[in-house]
Structure 1
Amino acid sequence: MKFQNNLKTENSSIQENFFKTFIHSERFFKKYKFYILIVIICLLAWFIVSIINKKIEEKNIKENNQIYLTLIQNPNDDKIASNLKEKNINLYALFLISQLNKNNTDSKIIDQLKQISQTSKINFLIKNIIDLELHQKSLFLKDYSKILEAYSFLEQNKIEEAKVLLNQIKNNSEFKQIADNLKHYQGNN
């Protein structure tokens, strides 16, 4: 019997605590329901806007990729090229780089790449790749451009000029091993 009484007392105590907590939370909700609703509405609006933005971004990516693939298949279509240039200047720059690799002497492509390289809308890495393709100084790929320039000197048997360039590559550069290997080149005997 004692156990049942203790159980009933404990059960009623738990129920009282539950009701007290429920009443306190109801008071809290009544007091701050306006703020709670604003937070819920803001979170819901943010969630909806983020989903819409993601869908729009995915649609734009698919559309840009489709335009890029069409332009690769038909590189002489100026209408598609201008459309890609408007929608995604970075993809257009990559297309021009691929065309420049096919035809190194096309001055029209070189001029367009120079113009794009000066645009602030272009990705920093793509700008550096363009600068490297156009044999301009690239901050990001300066060691790589030094390696290429030194290699061209070595092809012309200008070994001392090549060694001066290769010595400018710092010890912590990823190209240091290549530079050290090229320093040992003695030219065509």
Structure 2
Amino acid sequence: MSIKENVDYVKTELSSEERFLESFVKSERFFKKYKTLIFAFVIIIIVGIISFFIKENIAQSNKLKANIAFNQVLQNSNDTEALAILKDKNPQLYDIALYLQAKKEDKAIQISVPFLKELSKYQTALSGKNISELDNLSMQNDFLLKEFAIFNKALFLTNEGKFNEAKTTLALIPQTSKAFELAKLLNHYLLTK
């Protein structure tokens, strides 16, 4: 190698070391300037991660306790201690337990779980043969048992001798419905009336 090449090599090496030292000094200045913010950010992240895991652990513990209490209520519906745990740990599961308890005793109960609330109204309307309540339920677009409510309304109308109203009501049941076969059978019966 020639001297000129050696000098060029040394210059490039020095300039790359200079750049490295310069970037090191810049990063050190940045760290000194924002040291408290950097430490605060790191601490916030650590505390956030720890609190997330603690929250998840508590949620899992509550879920397990609620499930155990629900199983106890299923075995013994008069277990007030298990009902209290359910009410505290999982209010929706508590409502389901109350619903099941009321169903066993043939009572009507106020609950907040939407589908069970509708189902409770439906069963109350069926047991009371309440045509107007079945009509109200069948008018709700999102009611789970809408077509069955319409069918039962038509069945009650048939029992009361209101055959034309029953036929009109059965026409509301779409062919894609699970209740359509029942409606078809009732329509065959109504042809003779």
> TM-score of the superposition, structure 2-length normalised?
0.69
Name 1:149's counterpart in structure 2: 149
Task: State the Cα distance separating 1:149 from its structure 2 match.
Answer: 1.3
Name 1:30's counterpart in structure 2: 32
Tell me, in whole angstroms, the C-alpha distance in 2 between the residues paired with 1:152 and 1:91: 29
| 3-state SS of 2:188 partner | coil
Name 2:89's counterpart in structure 1: 87
| 1:20-61 deviation line (CA, Å, top 9, x unaligned) | 000000011111111111111211221221121111111111
8 Å Cα contact 1:68/1:84 also seen in 2? yes
Structure 1 residues 69-88: aligned runs within 5 Å: 69-88=71-90
Name 2:57's counterpart in structure 1: 55
Task: State the Cα distance separating 1:179 from its structure 2 match.
Answer: 7.4
Name 1:132's counterpart in structure 2: 119
| 3-state SS of 2:59 partner | helix
Tell me, in whole angstroms, the C-alpha distance in 1 between the residues paired with 2:68 and 2:180: 44
Name 1:160's counterpart in structure 2: 168
Task: State the Cα distance separating 1:166 from its structure 2 match.
Answer: 3.1
Change (3 A) 1:184 1:147: closer
For the pair shown, which has the larger CA radius of gyration, 1 or 2?
2
Tell me, in whole angstroms, the C-alpha distance in 1 between the residues paired with 2:54 and 2:99: 33
Amino acid in the other structure paired with 1:150 = I
Change (3 A) 1:69 1:179: closer
Name 2:106's counterpart in structure 1: 106
Change (3 A) 1:54 1:71: same
Task: State the Cα distance separating 1:9 from its structure 2 match.
Answer: 3.2
Task: State the Cα distance separating 1:89 from its structure 2 match.
Answer: 1.4
Task: State the Cα distance separating 1:83 from its structure 2 match.
Answer: 2.8
| 1:98-147 deviation line (CA, Å, top 9, x unaligned) | 4455x3x622xx22xx1x33xxxxxxxx32332233227495732x3320
Tell me, in whole angstroms, the C-alpha distance in 2 between the residues paired with 1:184 and 1:58: 46
Change (3 A) 1:91 1:35: same
Tell me, in whole angstroms, the C-alpha distance in 2 between the residues paired with 1:179 and 1:75: 33
Tell me, in whole angstroms, the C-alpha distance in 1 between the residues paired with 2:74 and 2:145: 28
8 Å Cα contact 2:150/2:173 also seen in 1? yes
Amino acid in the other structure paired with 2:188 = G
Task: State the Cα distance separating 1:183 from its structure 2 match.
Answer: 9.6
**Any gaps of 5 or more consecutive residues in structure 1?**
118-125, 168-175
8 Å Cα contact 1:147/1:166 also seen in 2? yes
Amino acid in the other structure paired with 1:131 = E
Tell me, in whole angstroms, the C-alpha distance in 1 between the residues paired with 2:188 and 2:154: 7
